[in-house]
């Protein structure tokens, strides 16, 4: 699957966003090795910390269906903005632990712009489980 095709799936997911507070709808599409695609959209709440970002929504959905880090091949994230949509810090941390470091992450917007990156570039000094060792 091409980056553009995966981005189109993320755009479809974006239509499911519940974002009445920020008015910033985000969609994500996570491609797995077996060809399965998991969609996610941001879901907001009046108590902002309770909200869920699109990329974590897709990632956690896949994990709840038994997928593991090694199953993930590519991730696309899209929103309407001048620049490509980039994950927030919380999502960067989750991706750094749960998504393969060398697998592509495609950041896009509705004008067709796509930038390829990965978790190492997004969060070079991630907090790791090894940091919890005493």
Q: Which residues contact 37 (CB under 8 A, 6 or more apart)?
A: 6, 9, 29, 30, 31
pTM above 0.85, yes or no: yes
Per-residue pLDDT reduced to its tens digit, 50-106: 999 999 999 999 999 999 999 999 999 999 999 999 999 999 999 999 999 999 999
Q: Is 4 annotated in the active site?
A: no
Q: Where are the domains of the chain?
A: 3-132
User: What is the third-level CATH fold of 3-132?
Assistant: Cytidine Deaminase; domain 2 (3.40.140)
Distances (CA, A) of 24 to 7, 29, 57, 93, 109: 17, 17, 16, 21, 12
- The beta-strand segments (E) located in 18-131 are 26-32, 37-41, 72-79, 105-109, 114-117
Catalytic residue among 4, 5, 55, 121: 55
């Amino acid at each position: 699957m091409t980056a553009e095709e995966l981005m189109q799936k993320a755009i479809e997911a974006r239509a499911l966003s519940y974002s009445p507070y920020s008015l910033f709808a985000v969609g994500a599409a996570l491609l797995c090795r077996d060809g399965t695609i998991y969609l996610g959209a941001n879901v907001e709440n009046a108590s902002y910390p309770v909200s869920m970002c699109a990329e974590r929504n897709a990632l956690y959905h896949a994990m709840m269906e038994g997928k593991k880090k090694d199953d993930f091949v590519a991730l696309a994230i899209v929103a309407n903005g001048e620049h490509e949509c980039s994950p927030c810090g919380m999502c960067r941390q989750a991706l750094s632990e749960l998504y393969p470091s060398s697998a592509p992450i495609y950041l896009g917007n509705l004008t067709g712009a796509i930038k390829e990156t990965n978790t190492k570039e997004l969060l070079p000094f991630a907090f790791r489980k090894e940091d919890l060792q005493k």
